[in-house]
Amino acid sequence: MNTKTDYPPWLNQAVFYQIYPQSFYDTNGDGIGDIPGIIQKLDYLQWLGINAVWVNPCFVSPFQDAGYDVADYYRIAPRYGTNRDLYRLCREAHKRGIKVCLDLVAGHTSIEHPWFKASCRSSRNKYSDRYIWASSAVWGANPPLPMIRGYAERDANYVANFFYFQPALNYGFARPAAEQPWQQPVDAPGPLESRKELNKIMNYWLSHGVDGFRVDMAFSLVKLDPGRKETIKLWREIIQELRTFYPGTIMIAEWGNPEESITAGFDLDFMFHVGVPGYADLLLNEKCFFRRHGGGNIMGFLESYLEQASKTQGKGLISIPSANHDIKRPSSDGRTASDLKVIFTFLLTWPGVPFIYYGDEIGMRYIPGMPSKEGGYTRTGARTPMQWDDGQNAGFSIAGKDRLYLPLDPRQNRPTVKKQAGDTGSLLHHVRKLIALRKNSPALQAVGALIPLQVKNNDRHFAYLRQSGSERFLIALNPSADPSQVRIKGIKTDKLAPQISHGARAYAEGDDIQIDMDGVSYGIFKL
Ligand code: NOJ
């Protein structure tokens, strides 16, 4: 099924891979991953079958929040290489059919950014209104926004977007309060300057071969904005203008509300741990669906997903990521490779655009209790070095152990790419086969129709059809430890060819389909 879409049609076939550059592959022996390292691993990514990468922030930064505190938007952080390395990454990736998306931190900078330093000065200058300042430092208003008091020489307090060292850029207020003159309207000179600069940054990287952006906290730009109406308007204008010069630009929102972000002109948004509910019921909660003994079902996730999908159909896409740098990996909480195979069968046969977080394809572990690094706190355990092989530092770096960005998973039998590449029954091969099947099957891609089957409140399994034209797949998943039986009524078929399956047997019985499922099993059948 190919509906008219508002997003680059290429996204229908997209499978993304998220790279946390610090931890991917270190080529200069300083213990931190780098861009030449990503280039060296492109052949691996091509072998895996992915066709796009999202690289976490890689710009100059004091790295108090892993690079989400940018100090220069136009320069690659020296620890990752040079701008030329980034341009080369784009060229090399394109040769292999892989697109490159950067992380654009649009809502705030670092306190180390020269704009902010100038903005802190008491004398009026070009950057005085680049951030949101409420005067006075001592007696100033305390609006319903996080204010950092007494930081600057200037007699004013600034609004922080996330951590205290991430001052919010000034894109204005949706309804500035008359008695608070520091709340500027969206079309005041300060906010307009911020927009102009944002445009410039995007144009700069697009002109050097980048394919698009994942926009950090894209929802956060205009302040006190009920229903995010002004933020939506702002993005619509920015994206529209950008597309006149770079029509194929991929715009991915970190918004967590596809209905809003896609209206704002983004192609794609995540359903994950923030924003609309559902993801936690799928992968994170104690009683989530993908947990052997949790007892959870698919209902909570499915209702929320179907609502968002119906509101965005034909206009944009939804991504259910395997994880990201802010949450636990799916391999946490005792899940084994067998459990992960069920999860990936779901992720790679689901509509929208799958995102694989680096290392999830081999079942890298979330390491609890890892000391915080670069503002990671509990997120740090999901950011450890990629495990390539059994060599020194798992093949990640030749640096001494104490110089590594983060310690490696200390387990003797930690998974590695090398081990799993040599074992066709591994999780890595499973993921690779699923990607290949998806690529060759329009029904399994972003916009193939989704028909959920037989969902009842106490069901621990879940079955659904994906369909495009005459191509039809039945997918059945049982993440629980107990066997289960699924009866699908009213689907007559003489063909139920297993594509990728384990412990699931499907057969036609008259007008019905019967599926017998072992505990922790999955099956993709072609009808
Ligand atoms: C969301 C990012 O994913 C997270 O890692 C970061 O700390 C915050 N935004 C602030 O930029």
pLDDT tens digit string along 69-80? 999 999 999 999
- Ligand 1 site residues (CB inside 6 A) read 65, 68, 105, 162, 216-217, 254, 325-326
Report whether pLDDT(223) > 50.
Answer: yes
Query: SS3 for 185?
Result: strand
- 86 and 37 in one domain? yes
Asked if residue 121 and residue 48 are part of one domain, the reply reads no
pLDDT band at 22 (very low <50, low <70, confident <90, very high): very high
Average pLDDT rounded to a whole number, residues 8-34: 97
Both 431 and 452 in one domain: the answer is: no
pLDDT at position 141 over 90: no
CATH number at residue 80: 3.20.20.80
Distance CA 165, CA 473 (A): 50
Q: Which atom of ligand 1 is nearest to the CA of 326?
A: 5
Tell which wins on pLDDT, 138 or 37: 37
Is the pLDDT assigned to residue 482 strictly greater than 70?
A: yes
Max Cα distance, the chain (Å):
83
Is residue 1 predicted with pLDDT exceeding 60?
Answer: no
Residue 5 included in any domain: no
Q: Specify if 259 maps to a domain.
A: no
Q: Does any domain span residue 271?
A: no
| pLDDT of the residue at 136 | 86
Nearest CA to ligand 1 atom 11: 68
DSSP for residue 152: S
User: How does strand 512-526 pair with strand 497-509?
Assistant: antiparallel
* pLDDT score for 5: 57
Residue 255 inside a domain? The answer is: no
* 17 in Cβ contact with 64 (< 8 Å): no
Domain check: are 388 and 356 in the same one? Answer: yes
Give the relative orientation of helices 337-347 and 427-440 as an angle to the nearest 10 degrees. Answer: 10
Rounded to a whole number of angstroms, the distance between the first and last alpha carbons of the chain is: 17
Query: What are the start-end ranges of the E strands in 165-311?
Result: 212-216, 250-253, 268-270
342 & 414 share domain? yes
Using a pLDDT cut of 70, give the percent of the chain over it: 99
Which CATH number do you get for residue 470? 2.60.40.1180
Asked whether the beta carbons of 184 and 170 are under 8 A apart, the reply is yes
What's residue 4's pLDDT? 43
What is the predicted pLDDT for the residue at 454?
72
Q: Look at residues 70, 104, 93 and name the one whose alpha carbon lies nearest to residue 203.
A: 104
Confirm whether 223 is domain-assigned: no
pLDDT class for 143, splitting at 50, 70, 90? confident
To the nearest whole percent, how much of the chain has pLDDT over 90?
93
Residue 148 to residue 163: CA distance in whole angstroms? 10
**Ligand 1 center–CA 70 separation, angstroms:** 12
Residues 131 and 160 grouped into a single domain: yes
Q: Which residues lie below 8 Å from residue 270, measured CB to CB, with a gap of 6+?
A: 252, 253, 254, 255, 256, 318, 319, 320, 321, 324, 355
* 441 found inside a domain: yes
Same domain, 403 and 432: yes
For a pocket test of ligand 1, which of 103, 108, 254, 326 has the largest count of ligand atoms closer than 8 A to its C-beta? 326
Please check whether residues 354 and 431 belong to one and the same domain: yes
Confidence at residue 406, expressed as pLDDT on a 0 to 100 scale: 98
**Is residue 244, in this structure, part of any structural domain at all?**
no
CATH number of the domain to which 156 belongs: 3.90.400.10
Band the pLDDT of 3: cuts 50, 70, 90: very low
CA-nearest residue, atom 4 of ligand 1: 326
pLDDT tens per residue, range 93-135: 999 999 999 999 999 999 999 999 999 999 999 999 999 999 8
Report how many domains make up the chain: 4
Whose C-alpha lies nearest to ligand 1, atom 5? Answer: 326
Whether 386 and 298 map to the same domain: the answer is no
Domain boundary pick from 411, 431, 446: 446
Q: If you measure from the C-alpha of residue 375 to the centroid of ligand 1, how many angstroms do you get, rounded to a whole number?
A: 10
Residue 239 covered by a domain: no
What type of residue sits at position 461? H
| Structural domain range at position 26 | 12-105+321-446
Whether 150 and 51 share a structural domain: no
Q: Could you tell me if 468 and 355 lie in one domain?
A: no
pLDDT value at 39 more than 80: yes
The Å distance, Cα 435 to ligand 1 centre, comes to 28
Separation between Cα atoms, residue 63 and residue 60, nearest integer Å: 8
Query: Of 317, 347, 375, which one is at a domain's C-terminal end?
Result: 317
Q: What angle is formed at CA 150 by the lines to CA 195 and CA 130, rounded to 5 degrees?
A: 10
Closest ligand 1 atom number to CA of residue 69: 11
**What token pair was written down for 370?**
């890892």
**Judgement on whether residues 452 and 426 belong to the same structural domain of the protein:** no
Which pair of tokens denotes residue 216? 């950090």
- Of 116, 143, 168, the residue that ends a domain is 168
Judge contact between 368 and 377, C-beta under 8 A.
Answer: no
